[in-house]
Amino acid sequence: MFLFLAITQAGCRRSFPRHLLHRITTLAISAVVVLVAQVINTQPVNADQAADQAADQAARPNIVLIMTDDMGWQDLACQGNPVLRSPRVDALARQGVRFTNAYAAAPVCSPTRAALMTGLAPARLQITQHGADTQRFWPKDRKVQPPPTRHELPLDTHSLAERLKARGYATGFFGKWHLGGEAFYPTHHGFDVNVGGCAYGGPPTYFDPYRIPTLPPRKSGEYLTDRLADETIAFLRREHDQPMFVCLWTYNPHYPFEAPEELVKHYQGKEGRGLKNPIYGGQIEATDRAVGRVLDELQRLEIDDQTLVIFTSDNGGWSGATDNTPLRAGKGYLYEGGLRVPLIVRWPGVTQSGREEDSPVVSMDLTATILDAAGVKLKAEDALDGETLRPLFGGGNLERKALFFHYPHFAFHRANRPGSAVREGDYKLLHFYDDDTVELYDVAQDLSETTDLAQKKPQVAARLKQRLTAWLQETEAGIPQRRQP
- Taking the complex as a whole, the smallest distance from the CB of residue 169 to Ca ion amounts, in Å, to 26
- Between residues 314 and 357, which has the closer beta carbon with respect to Ca ion? 314
**283 binds Ca ion per the rule CB under 5 A:** no
Q: Are 463 and 452 in contact (CB under 8 A)?
A: no
**Of 271, 270, 286, nearest in space to 226 by CA:** 286
- Between residues 80 and 202, which has the closer beta carbon with respect to Ca ion? 202
Which of the ranges 104-112, 299-307, 358-366, 414-422 carries the binding residues for Ca ion, by CB under 5 A? 104-112
Q: Are 317 and 74 in contact (CB under 8 A)?
A: yes
**Of 248, 251, 244, 420, nearest in space to 333 by CA:** 420
Which of the ranges 106-114, 209-217, 218-226, 256-264 carries the binding residues for Ca ion, by CB under 5 A? 106-114
| Whole-number Cα distances in Å, 355 to 65, 94, 266, 393 | 19, 8, 30, 9
Q: Are 310 and 60 in contact (CB under 8 A)?
A: no
- Taking the complex as a whole, the smallest distance from the CB of residue 341 to Ca ion amounts, in Å, to 10
- Taking the complex as a whole, the smallest distance from the CB of residue 366 to Ca ion amounts, in Å, to 16
Number of residues that bind Ca ion (CB under 5 A): 5
Report the C-alpha gap between 340 and 322 in whole angstroms.
Answer: 14
- Between residues 164 and 362, which has the closer beta carbon with respect to Ca ion? 362
| Whole-number Cα distances in Å, 59 to 56, 118, 122, 139, 372 | 5, 21, 30, 51, 9
- Taking the complex as a whole, the smallest distance from the CB of residue 274 to Ca ion amounts, in Å, to 20
- Between residues 313 and 367, which has the closer beta carbon with respect to Ca ion? 313
**231 binds Ca ion per the rule CB under 5 A:** no
- Between residues 89 and 109, which has the closer beta carbon with respect to Ca ion? 109
Which contacts (CB < 8 Å, 24+ apart) does range 325-329 have?
Answer: 325/74, 325/273, 325/274, 326/447, 326/448, 327/72, 327/73, 327/74, 327/447, 327/448, 327/449, 328/448, 328/449, 328/450, 329/416
- Between residues 69 and 133, which has the closer beta carbon with respect to Ca ion? 69
Give, as ranges, the residues between 300 and 329 that touch Ca ion (CB under 5 A). 314-315
**109 binds Ca ion per the rule CB under 5 A:** yes
Give, as ranges, the residues between 150 and 169 that touch Ca ion (CB under 5 A). none
Q: Of residues 69, 75, 288, 304, which one binds Ca ion by CB under 5 A? A: 69
- Between residues 85 and 130, which has the closer beta carbon with respect to Ca ion? 130
- Taking the complex as a whole, the smallest distance from the CB of residue 142 to Ca ion amounts, in Å, to 23
Which of the ranges 108-116, 258-266, 302-310, 436-444 carries the binding residues for Ca ion, by CB under 5 A? 108-116
* Dihedral angle over CA of 72, 108, 121, 420, nearest 10: -100
- Between residues 71 and 454, which has the closer beta carbon with respect to Ca ion? 71
Report the C-alpha gap between 263 and 240 in whole angstroms.
Answer: 32
- Taking the complex as a whole, the smallest distance from the CB of residue 342 to Ca ion amounts, in Å, to 13
- Taking the complex as a whole, the smallest distance from the CB of residue 102 to Ca ion amounts, in Å, to 15
- Taking the complex as a whole, the smallest distance from the CB of residue 109 to Ca ion amounts, in Å, to 4
Q: Of residues 70, 208, 288, 385, which one binds Ca ion by CB under 5 A? A: 70
**Of 285, 304, 284, nearest in space to 294 by CA:** 304
Question: Residue 136 burial by CB count (10 A; 0-12/13-18/19+): exposed, middle or buried?
Answer: exposed
**Of 37, 13, 56, 112, nearest in space to 316 by CA:** 112
Maximum Cα interatomic distance, the chain, rounded to a whole number of Å: 99
Q: Are 146 and 220 in contact (CB under 8 A)?
A: no
Q: Mask: binding to Ca ion, 401-430, rule CB under 5 A, as x and -?
A: ------------------------------
- How many C-beta atoms lie closer than 10 Å to residue 460's C-beta? 17
- Taking the complex as a whole, the smallest distance from the CB of residue 367 to Ca ion amounts, in Å, to 18
- Between residues 71 and 236, which has the closer beta carbon with respect to Ca ion? 71
- 378 DSSP 8-state letter: P
Query: Nearest residue by C-beta to Ca ion?
Result: 109
Contact residues for Ca ion (CB under 5 A)?
A: 69-70, 109, 314-315
